[in-house]
Amino acid sequence: MAKQSTQFICQACGASAPRWLGRCPGCGGWNTLVEEIVAGKKSRGSLPTAANKPVSIGEVPEDAAARLPTGIEELDRVLGGGAVLGSVVLVGGDPGVGKSTLLLQALAGLAKRGARALYSSGEESVAQIALRARRILGDQSLGDRLQIVGASDVAEVEDAARLARPSALVVDSVQVLRSAELESAAGSVSQLREVTARLVDLAKKERIALFLVGHVTKDGALAGPKVLEHLVDVVLSFEGERGNAFRALRASKNRYGSATEVGVFEMAQGGLAEVPNPSELFLAERPAHASGSVVAPVTPQEGGARAVLVEVQALVGSVGQGNGRRVTTGLASTRLALILAVLERKVGFMLAGADVFANVAGGLTIDEPAIDLPLAIAVASAARDRPCARDLVAFGEIGLAGEVRGVARGMSRLGEAASMGFKRAIVPASTAERMTGNDRSGVEVIPVRRVEEAIRIALDD
């Protein structure tokens, strides 16, 4: 066994120090350093072997990154076309969001296509998983291609993989696994690092598509985030609001595809169902002729190609004493504050003493500037109690002087609006100029330069 020594390791960023410090030298966090026993460095041979001999790009066989589609299209698209043999995918998300369900369904999809799949759980008992599998997979005849094992030590996972010889392996979760070689508790940074490194090794050597489930801490980061994220090839996060069935799967890192895709699911009785047309879901409960509601084509993933339509809602209370409250759901409160300031100072709305609530309906969180204009129109519509025209969508960034600024992906936003039957779009003038030719998907484009212009058109003033 390797020589052991102790180090003080930051539980937030993974930085290490030889002695205890009140403040982490890496991330500046207070009281985050914990003493952990770490294995001494193993010496490595330096003679070149066949495996590390340089080759020219043309010599590398195409199937070096063979892909296995899971058949769940929303997942395959986010992965970049399916799971890659020998790759490691980390799936993070809050407890209860549906990570285990998603990956069980993914393994079943792979098994259905003839691949051998192994689900290793340290969270739930084998009996619990089997029960869930029977319920959501029904009587699909998967033969013995989908196997389950309970494991709490990484060596048990390695043994199980040797026996089952899977092409795809799920480890649920990486935080409950420990390595007997280290004395620190499961979930500590040195354990996470060791366990993940061994599993990554296993995946690369045996050419297994490996999925690791990772829990997320309260502030939304993966526990021991930097430690895990740079060890793996793909980082996915599975998100959803409590009490809302809708779930979004996003990639924040993808060595095998684009990191700008988003997959949309709905948690139902029989497990996760794909939502191929999310706009329909997000607009399903839109009230007729209500003030304070505007439809916005947004790209839920930063830089993403896919546009979806969401309903932006605002409610303005009556003006009272002192400062009004500002409450947001699904968008940053700083964005609302900026829009309110522009509406006050540049357009002449009196909102300082009023309570203002703003909401992206459906549980999606949007953090792109294109939501500014629909948000401003929604607030104006609520403040004047005038409904916005129903055949209309709007998007655009708003600057501090009240100018409407261009945003990217104008055409895909228009295309999505057209596919849902909208007839007109209020668009930043500079974006409208960049959109090509006459083919605007049959949607009338209304270019605007100022926020007050957009409000006038939308509210039909």
For residues 308 and 278, the answer to whether their CB atoms sit within 8 Å is yes
Residue 99 interacts with ligand TYD (CB under 6 A): yes or no:
yes
| Nearest residue to 259 via CA among 297, 222, 298, 302 | 302
Asked whether 404 and 430 are in contact (CB, 8 A), the reply is no
Terminal Cα-to-Cα distance of the chain (whole angstroms): 79
**Which of Mg ion, ligand TYD, none binds 101 (CB below 5-8 Å, type-dependent)?**
ligand TYD
What is the x/- site pattern for ligand TYD, positions 124-163, by CB under 6 A? --------x---x---------------------------
In whole angstroms, how close is the CB of 194 to Mg ion at the nearest point? 22
Is the N-terminal amide bond of 173 cis, ω within 30° of 0?
Answer: yes
Q: Near ligand TYD by CB under 6 A, which window of 81-89, 95-103, 283-291, 390-398? A: 95-103
Radius of gyration (C-alpha) of the chain in whole angstroms: 26
Location of structure tokens 């329909």: 280
Give residue 116's Cα distance to chain centre. Answer: 27
Which stretch, 6-14, 89-97, 201-209, 449-457, contacts ligand TYD (CB under 6 A)? 89-97
> What token pair was written down for 282?
């997000």
Q: Which residues bind Mg ion (CB under 5 A)?
A: 100
Decide which of ligand TYD, Mg ion, none touches 421; Cβ closer than 5 to 8 Å per partner kind: none
Stretch that binds ligand TYD, among 28-36, 90-98, 323-331, 363-371 (CB under 6 A): 90-98
Cβ closest to Mg ion, residue 220 vs residue 287:
220
Of ligand TYD, Mg ion, none, which one sits near residue 93, judging by CB under 5 to 8 A according to partner kind?
A: ligand TYD
Q: Phi-psi bin for 426: left (phi > 0), alpha (psi -120 to 50), beta? A: beta
Give the nearer residue to ligand TYD in terms of CB position, either 96 or 114: 96
CA 329, CA 363: separation in Å to the nearest integer?
A: 8
101 contributes a contact to ligand TYD by CB under 6 A: yes
Q: What are phi and psi of 370, to 5 degrees?
A: -60, -15
Among 25, 28, 96, 442, binds ligand TYD (CB under 6 A): 96
Question: Does 121 interact with ligand TYD (rule: CB under 6 A)?
Answer: no
CA distances from 153 to 173, 381, 412 (A): 11, 58, 47
Query: What's the distance, CA 207 to chain centroid?
Result: 26
Binding to ligand TYD (CB under 6 A) within 252-281 occurs at: 267, 269-271
Binding segment toward ligand TYD, per CB under 6 A, in 88-96, 292-300, 310-318, 352-360: 88-96
98 interacts with ligand TYD by CB under 6 A: yes
